[in-house]
Amino acid sequence: MATDYDAPRKNEEDLSEDSIEELKARRSEKSSATVDEDEAEAAEGFELPGADLSGEELSVRVLPRQADEFTCAKCFLVHHRSQLAYEDGGQLVCSECAA
Ligand SMILES: [Zn+2]
């Protein structure tokens, strides 16, 4: 009876040990795989907006002053023509600086 009782117990232990080791192996495999995926996704997510931002900055710098805009001679900001207060010897002054 004792041997009959021990036999299935040993089998259970062996099974559980095997399954635990299998789980551990699967877990480490899975976790390392997900980490690699996350890193790749994070790198992609980081690069795309960065490229868009630099493109916007470039387009803003390259854009020429519009015909209906002027650069104030006092604050050096580009204002719409409607904000022009007066012209002082060819220098355009915005209404904010004239006030
Ligand atoms: Zn101004």
Output the average pLDDT for the chain: 73
Indicate the pTM of the whole model: 0.35
Is a pLDDT exceeding 90 seen at residue 85? yes
Is a pLDDT exceeding 70 seen at residue 18? yes
User: How far apart are the C-alpha atoms of 88 and 66, rounded to whole Å?
Assistant: 21
- 79: helix, strand or coil: strand
**Cα 55 to averaged position of ligand 1 atoms, centre (Å):** 28
Is a pLDDT exceeding 80 seen at residue 29? no
Q: Judge whether 68 and 80 are in contact, CB under 8 Å.
A: yes
**Cα 91 to averaged position of ligand 1 atoms, centre (Å):** 11
**Cα 62 to averaged position of ligand 1 atoms, centre (Å):** 22
| Between residues 88 and 57, the one the model is more confident about | 88
User: How far apart are the C-alpha atoms of 70 and 92, rounded to whole Å?
Assistant: 7
Residues around ligand 1, an ion, CB closer than 5 A? 72, 74-75, 94, 97
Query: Average of pLDDT values for 67-92?
Result: 93
